[in-house]
């Protein structure tokens, strides 16, 4: 789309998937990343955790990019109250997929918007993802593609991980890493972009 903005927009994310989704708005933006220690965040709930990490990413970039509007995001996969981080090795990827097999889990993405005056807005969106029953051979073949390792929960719904998913309840793009439709609504409501 070709939307309008007077703001200098900065996407605080190294994720090419988020960049692609954000570009659907059709407004100019730049990508600026920062190093934040996500695992250092302590929160009382999963929702609080993912919100705090998104804020941390956005605040780290806001410090360097004055006068601009910053958008940060974070995605987590929660299975029965347990956070499944990006797998560090094949064993962990296998363990994640074994848990996710034949059941459902929550994918939560938090988005943080920081305006030049320091005003902060956040929202958390949830999608329920149901996995098929995965055979050992399928899990091994999937891990061999290398796909799980840069992704929360150890799979990508937009890549070969699509073959593992039975169905979802909620927004697809939220699983990929950016609920662009809700973000669009928030940016309109905040007068950051106009149709």
Ligand X SMILES: Cc1cn([C@H]2C[C@H](O)[C@@H](COP(=O)(O)OP(=O)(O)OP(=O)(O)O)O2)c(=O)[nH]c1=O
Is there binding between residue 177 and ligand X (CB under 6 A)? yes
> Per the structure block, which two tokens stand in for 7?
């703001």
**Number of residues written out for the chain:** 195
| Residue keyed to tokens 């939560």 | 108
Is there binding between residue 151 and ligand X (CB under 6 A)? yes
- Tell me the CA distances in angstroms from 154 to 5, 29, 143, one per residue in order: 36, 29, 9
Site string for ligand X, 44-83 (x = CB under 6 A): -------------x---------------xxx-x------
Which part of the chain contacts ligand X (CB under 6 A), choosing from 1-9, 62-70, 130-138, 172-180? Answer: 172-180
Is there binding between residue 127 and ligand X (CB under 6 A)? no
How far apart (Å, rounded) are the C-alpha atoms in residues 37 and 113? Answer: 19
For the bound state, the minimum distance from the C-beta of residue 153 to ligand X, rounded and expressed in Å, comes to 4
- Could you count the other beta carbons within 10 Å of the beta carbon of residue 116? 14
| Residue keyed to tokens 């305006």 | 115
Q: What is the dihedral of CA 131, 137, 138, 140, to 10 degrees?
A: 100
Q: Out of 152, 180, 183, 193, name the contact with ligand X by CB under 6 A.
A: 152
Is there binding between residue 87 and ligand X (CB under 6 A)? no
Q: Give residues in contact with ligand X (CB under 6 A).
A: 13-15, 17-18, 33, 57, 73-75, 77, 107, 151-153, 155-158, 161, 175-177
């Amino acid at each position: 789309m070709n939307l309008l903005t007077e703001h200098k927009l900065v996407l605080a994310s190294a994720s090419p998937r988020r960049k692609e989704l954000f570009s659907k708005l059709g407004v100019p933006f730049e990508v600026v990343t920062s190093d934040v220690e996500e695992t250092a965040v302590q929160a009382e709930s999963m929702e609080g955790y993912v919100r705090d990490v998104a804020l941390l990413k956005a605040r780290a970039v806001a410090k360097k990019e004055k006068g601009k509007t910053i958008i940060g995001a974070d995605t987590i996969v929660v299975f029965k109250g347990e956070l499944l981080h990006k797998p560090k090795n094949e064993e962990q990827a296998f363990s994640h997929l074994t848990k996710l097999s034949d059941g459902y889990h929550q994918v939560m993405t938090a988005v943080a918007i920081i305006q030049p005056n320091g005003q902060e807005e956040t929202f958390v969106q949830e999608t329920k993802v149901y996995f098929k029953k995965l055979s050992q051979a399928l899990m091994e073949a999937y891990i061999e593609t290398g796909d799980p390792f840069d992704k929360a929960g150890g799979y990508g719904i937009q890549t070969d991980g699509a073959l593992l998913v039975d169905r979802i309840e909620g927004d697809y793009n939220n699983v990929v890493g950016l609920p662009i439709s809700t973000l669009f609504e928030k940016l309109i409501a905040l007068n950051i972009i106009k149709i």
